[in-house]
Amino acid sequence: MIVSIEGKLEELGPVVCVVNCGGIGYEINMPLSVTESLPDLGSPVKLFIYSVYREDSQALYGFLDKNERDFFKIVVEKVSGIGPRIALAMLSRFRAQELKSAIVAKDIALLSSITGIGKKTAERMVIELSERLSQESIDKNSGFMIKFTGSSDGYDAVLALISLGIRRNEAEKMIGALMAKNAELSAEQLVKLALR
C-alpha cells in the first residue's frame, strides 16, 4: 500500500501530475487546491497518497496535507454513494476543515452545492460522519476542558472555534478574553465576537 510519494515533479495538469520517484513515474490524481499549490516542474515534491486498487485498474490520489488525505479516505470508505471522483470534487471546492465544519454543523445546503452531491447524499454524509468528526475534535483537544468547566457556553464556543480550524490555544485565549469582559455571553455570541 503506497501512503506517500517523494520525488521530482515531471508533469502537471489541472487535476493530475506525474512524480518521478527512483526512475518510476507515478500518475497521481489531485483536487484543484493541490494542483494550485504545487511547485514548478522539476522541483522536489512530497504527496500523501490514497491508493485504490481494483481488478482492472489502480489509481493514486495525492494531497499535500496528511489531514486532507485522511478526510478523503474517510469520505470514500464510509459514505455510500461517494467515490474518489466526487470526493476530489469536494476537496477541489472546499478545504477539508471547511467540509468537516459543514458536516458537524449539519450544513446540508453547503454540502449539496458540490457537483455530484444531492440532498440525500449530503444527508447521508452528515449521518455517517458528523458524530465521528465531532468526537475526533474533542479527543484531539480534550485537555482544554478544565479551563471552561464553569461555563458550558465557553466550552461550546472553544469547541466551535476548533471545528473551524483555529488552534486550541488560540481558541482558549480568544474565548477566555471575551468571557473576562462579559461572562454572560452565549456560546453563539462568543463565537461571533471571536471571529470578528
In a shared domain, residues 9 and 54: yes
Domain assignment present for 72: no
If you average pLDDT over residues 19-29, what whole number do you get?
96
In a shared domain, residues 23 and 48: yes
In a shared domain, residues 149 and 120: no
Cβ-proximal residues to 23 (8 Å cutoff; 6+ apart), any chain = none
pLDDT of residue 151: 56
**SS3 call for 6:** strand
Residue 74, CA atoms < 13 Å, CB-side half-sphere: 20
C-alpha cell at 123: 444527508
In a shared domain, residues 113 and 85: yes
Domain assignment present for 70: no
> Which domain, by its residues, includes 163?
141-194
If you average pLDDT over residues 140-167, what whole number do you get?
65
Domain assignment present for 69: no
One-letter identity of residue 33: S
Q: Does pLDDT of 95 surpass 90?
A: no
Q: Does pLDDT of 27 surpass 60?
A: yes
In a shared domain, residues 123 and 156: no
In a shared domain, residues 36 and 86: no
Least confident of 43-52, 118-127, 129-138, 174-183: 129-138
In a shared domain, residues 125 and 145: no
Domain assignment present for 23: yes
Average pLDDT across the chain, whole number: 85
If you average pLDDT over residues 178-195, what whole number do you get?
84
In a shared domain, residues 113 and 163: no
In a shared domain, residues 53 and 88: no
The CATH number assigned to the domain holding 120 equals 1.10.150.20
Q: Does pLDDT of 5 surpass 90?
A: yes
Calculate the CA 187 to chain-centre distance.
24
In a shared domain, residues 55 and 19: yes
Domain count, the chain: 3
Domain assignment present for 68: no
Q: Which pLDDT band, with edges at 50, 70 and 90, does 149 fall under?
A: very low
Label residue 155 exposed, middle or buried (CB < 10 Å: 0-12, 13-18, 19+): middle
C-alpha cell at 182: 462579559
Q: Which pLDDT band, with edges at 50, 70 and 90, does 18 fall under?
A: very high
In a shared domain, residues 85 and 49: no
